[in-house]
């Protein structure tokens, strides 16, 4: 949870400078799990694929709180389920990797990404797939099993 709060603190500084369609406010609201605000900003035309300076999208940061309704709203608005963060090679990470790594995200939230066709072969900057990554986290065995099952389906 500490990583999420640190990210939100940094992002808050850029929200005041957002003069566009509310894109930075959308990223912030997604990170806070604020469904009502996310829905309102999307209705006003905020970009579901907006990016922070480090390349995080609203769908990435929605993994901080993992509010199911926020994730569904972003996906329905066309959020790229396979977007990777920027920030240089050391920080590059697809959305699914964020979700399998965040304790706040459970089976349902990860399943939403899989159903939206998250690329199970995508790798992070260390060359790891989401399954490689989650398989090393003992407390996430249920997520690893589900991702492994989906990966098996894709290879058939």
88 — pLDDT class (breaks 50, 70, 90): low
Long-range contacts of 6-11 (CB under 8 A, 24+ apart): 7/31, 7/56, 7/61, 7/64, 8/32, 8/64, 11/52, 11/61
**Lookup result for tokens 């290879």:** 155
pLDDT in tens, 109-127: 999 999 999 999 999 988 9
The secondary structure of the chain in percent helix, strand, coil, rounded to multiples of 5, reads 55, 0, 40
pLDDT confidence of residue 16: 44
In percent, the amount of the chain with pLDDT more than 90 equals: 67
User: Sorting pLDDT into bands at 50, 70 and 90, what band is 92?
Assistant: confident
Tell me what the pLDDT averaged over the chain comes to: 86
Mean of pLDDT values over 25-33? 96
Q: Which pLDDT does position 2 carry in this prediction? A: 52
pLDDT of residue 72: 98
Tokens encoding 116? 């939206």
pLDDT tens-digit map of 41-62: 999 999 999 998 888 999 999 9
Share of the chain above pLDDT 70, in %: 81
Only one residue has tokens 């469904």, namely 35
* Confidence (pTM): 0.84
Tokens coding 5 = 């709060």
The yes-or-no verdict on residue 63 having pLDDT over 70 is yes
Q: How far apart are CA 39 and CA 23, in angstroms?
A: 12
What is the reported pLDDT for 13? 47
Domains within the chain, CATH numbers bracketed: 2-155 (1.25.40.20)
User: What mean pLDDT comes out for the span 52-78?
Assistant: 95
């Amino acid at each position: 949870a500490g990583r999420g709060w640190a990210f939100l603190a940094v992002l808050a500084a850029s929200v005041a400078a957002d003069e566009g369609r509310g894109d930075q406010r959308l990223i912030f609201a997604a990170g806070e799990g604020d469904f009502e605000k996310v829905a309102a900003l999307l209705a006003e035309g905020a970009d579901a694929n907006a990016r922070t300076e480090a390349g995080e999208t609203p769908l990435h940061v929605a993994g901080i709180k993992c509010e199911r309704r926020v994730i569904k709203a972003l996906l329905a608005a066309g959020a790229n389920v396979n977007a990777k963060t920027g920030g240089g090679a050391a920080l590059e990470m697809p959305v699914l990797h964020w979700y399998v790594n965040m304790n706040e995200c459970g089976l349902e939230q990860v399943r939403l990404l899989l159903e939206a066709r998250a690329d199970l072969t995508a790798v992070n900057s260390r060359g790891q797939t989401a399954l490689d990554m989650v398989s090393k986290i003992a407390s996430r065995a249920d997520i690893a099993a589900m991702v492994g099952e989906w990966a098996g389906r894709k290879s058939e």
